[in-house]
Copies of this chain bind each other. A is one copy, B any other.
C-alpha cells in the first residue's frame, strides 16, 4: 500500500475541481478524478500522483455516477481518504412564475445529487473508520436569493443534509462538511451573469460586500483544509465562501 492519501474529486473539468486536484496531488494524494480537463492528468502525474480517471460522472443526480467513482477508488487504491463532490442545478426565475417541475429540477440537482454522493461514499469511510467528505453547494442555501428562490431552497435542504449525515457518523471518524460559494471568478459564472466585460463585471462586483469576485485559487486552498487530512476536528459545518454576501 502507498503511504499517499487517496482523494476523489468528482468533477475535475471545471470550477475549482482542477485547482483542488492539483493541490491535493502536490500534497501527497493519489486521485480519482471525474471527467478531467485536457492535460490535467499529465499535470497531476507530474506532481507525483497516481491518477484514476472516471468518465461521464459530472451529473451526480445519476446514482451510478457516485457509485462508479467510489468503485474506482476501491479497485485502484483500496480505500478513500477524502471525497469532494460538485453538485447543483441552477433554476432561475420568480417563484410567482414557477411550476412544480422547476421545483423538482432544483431538488434533483441540488439535493438528490449530494444525497447520492454521500450515500455512496460515507459507508465506505465508516467501514474504514475514517474519511473526509466535502460537498460544494451554494451560499444561496444560507439566505433568500432573489431570482433563484427554488434553487436557494433546495440548496438549504442540501446543507442540512450534510449536517445530518455528519451528525450520524460523528463517532465513526468521518467528517462531512459543505462549502457554498457565490461570486466566483470563473468562465461559467461570468457568462451566466453577463460579467465578461468590465461594465458587467463592475455591476456584479457591486453586489459583493467585499467588492470583488473570489478566485478559484483561494477557494482551492480553503477547501483543501477540509479534505487533506491535516485537520479532522470540524464536521457538520456549512461555510459560505462568498465575500460577505452571507
Contact = CB atoms under 8 A, between A and B. Distances in A.
Interface of A: 63, 94-96, 98, 100, 103-104, 107, 111-112, 115-116, 118-119, 122-123, 126, 141, 143-146, 149-150, 152-161, 163-169, 236
A160 B168 contact: no
A122 B98 CA distance: 12
Nearest to A61: B100
B160 A141 contact: yes
Given A111-B153, A144-B236, A96 B161 contact: no
Contacts of A159: 156
A94 B153 contact: no
A158 B153 contact: yes
A83 to B, nearest CB: 15
B169 A161 contact: no
Contacts of A157: 107, 111, 153-154, 156-158, 160
A153 B149 contact: no
Contacts of A150: 161, 164
A146 B160 contact: no
Contact of A164 (B118, B149, B160): B149
Contacts of A167: 144, 146, 149
Contacts of A126: 96
A156 B160 contact: yes
Contacts of A104: 112
A207 to B, nearest CB: 15
A154 to B, nearest CB: 6
Nearest to A163: B144
Nearest to A169: B96
Contacts of A112: 100, 103-104
Given A153-B158, A160-B144, A168 B122 contact: no
A166 B153 contact: no
Nearest to A146: B167
